[in-house]
Structure 1
Amino acid sequence: MSFQAYLDTVQTQTGKTVADFRILAAEKGLTKHGEIVKWLKAEFELGHGHATAVAGALLKPDAFKTPKADKVDAVFSGKKAMWRPLYEALLETVQGFGEDVDIAPTESYVSLLRGSKKFAIVQPGAGRLDLGIKRKDVEATQRFEAAGSWNSMVTHRVRITELAGVDAEVVEWLRAAYQAGD
């Protein structure tokens, strides 16, 4: 789901625009992302993704106008640039799963989407690439550990420390997550 689609859904559900939420948040003195998300979820019964979109629109209105390619460039910049070829190869592989594969880059990672549903994330670091995969009701393994507090939007995490770290097993986990569409 695109950022604007999230905001459109929120407006349909609540009858409020981003400008309305900006006024209400200011009246409550809310200035931090986490507190805005918590307020939106509690007071307006928004899901996490929708509340995060509104909070982002309130705190960084211009950030969501940046083209996806520029955002991906920023995610894979500096010491994280070494992971860009692996990300590109991974993206090409998952795009082979179906024509509905899309990306949604943030400031620190890239979400892999099937239509509007996230099935994985790719987060580069200086020393490794973390791959989060959403597979509900699948037990964690030594390699595919529980995501835990690392990222609550996915269920499993695999830490890749070498460029050859995306093998057939990783691709099968990604394919299963894509097909499940949870």
Structure 2
Amino acid sequence: MDKATLTMLENLKEKTGHSLDEWKSLISAQGFSKHGEIVKFLKETCNITHGYATTIASKALGSDADSAKDTDELILNQYKGKEHLKSFYDKLISEIQNFEGDFEISPKKAYVSLRRKKQFITLNPASKTRFEIGFNLKGVPAKGKLEAEKPDAMCSHKINLSDLHEIDQEVIDWIRMAYDNAE
């Protein structure tokens, strides 16, 4: 389990008033089955911050990496029916491994989070034809391939790719900026 999640779980009762088991029971009683509806309920009805709401929802659904039996299985499942997009993931990971310093690869159910002290990008086979890189670059103006994300989105920016050749120096430079900012 990554440090951030461990810290959140250790502080959950103090910060939210309930333990994880209590939140799971409450969510179960509501009959929720989707991550988004759980997060919305927790934020709007229970006044929980986005980070805690996301962690509680992931744990309640068992969709986080720690609840999965095998993180490699999580990644493989992301690419079912989208196998041709796996080469985007492999190329990006290979490029990032050339950066100085360490980072953590944290697979989730639908995407992979890359973290240093904080998450710097997400890698997501968003559709059968589109691969999306989500960036944590708050305060950086969108330009070139870098698009601003919707307000309140998990990431501040994104780059959509449909061809492996679109992973060029501009894309790597944006990833490097996010990587350096997460130090």
Q: TM-score range by the shorter chain?
A: 0.7 to 0.9
The TM-score, its normalising length taken from structure 1, stands at 0.80
Q: How far apart are 1:45 and its partner, in Å?
A: 4.9
Aligned: 1:82 with 2:84: yes
Q: Which residue of structure 2 lines up, in the alignment, with residue 165 of structure 1?
A: 166
Q: Which residue of structure 1 lines up, in the alignment, with residue 181 of structure 2?
A: 180
Q: 1:180 to 1:167 in 2, by over 3 A?
A: same
Aligned: 1:57 with 2:67: no
Q: Deviations over 1:134-153 (max 9, x none)?
A: 2111111242111226x811
Q: How many corresponding residue pairs?
A: 178
Cα RMSD, aligned residues only: 2.8
One-letter amino acid of the structure 1 residue matched with residue 129 of structure 2:
G
Q: Deviations over 1:74-129 (max 9, x none)?
A: 11222x111212211211222333443112222222122113x1111111121121
Alpha-carbon contact 2:145-2:171 (below 8 Å) kept = no
Q: Deviations over 1:7-43 (max 9, x none)?
A: 333245346322111233455x352533432343356
Q: Tell me how far apart the structure 2 counterparts of residues 181 and 61 of structure 1 sit (CA, whole Å).
A: 25
Unaligned runs of 5+ in 1: none
Q: How far apart are 1:170 and its partner, in Å?
A: 0.7
Q: Tell me how far apart the structure 1 counterparts of residues 99 and 26 of structure 2 sit (CA, whole Å).
A: 43
Q: Tell me how far apart the structure 2 counterparts of residues 98 and 46 of structure 1 sit (CA, whole Å).
A: 36
Q: Deviations over 1:60-86 (max 9, x none)?
A: 3797233221111111222x1112122
Q: 1:18 to 1:118 in 2, by over 3 A?
A: same
**Segments ≥4 residues shifted beyond 6 Å:** none
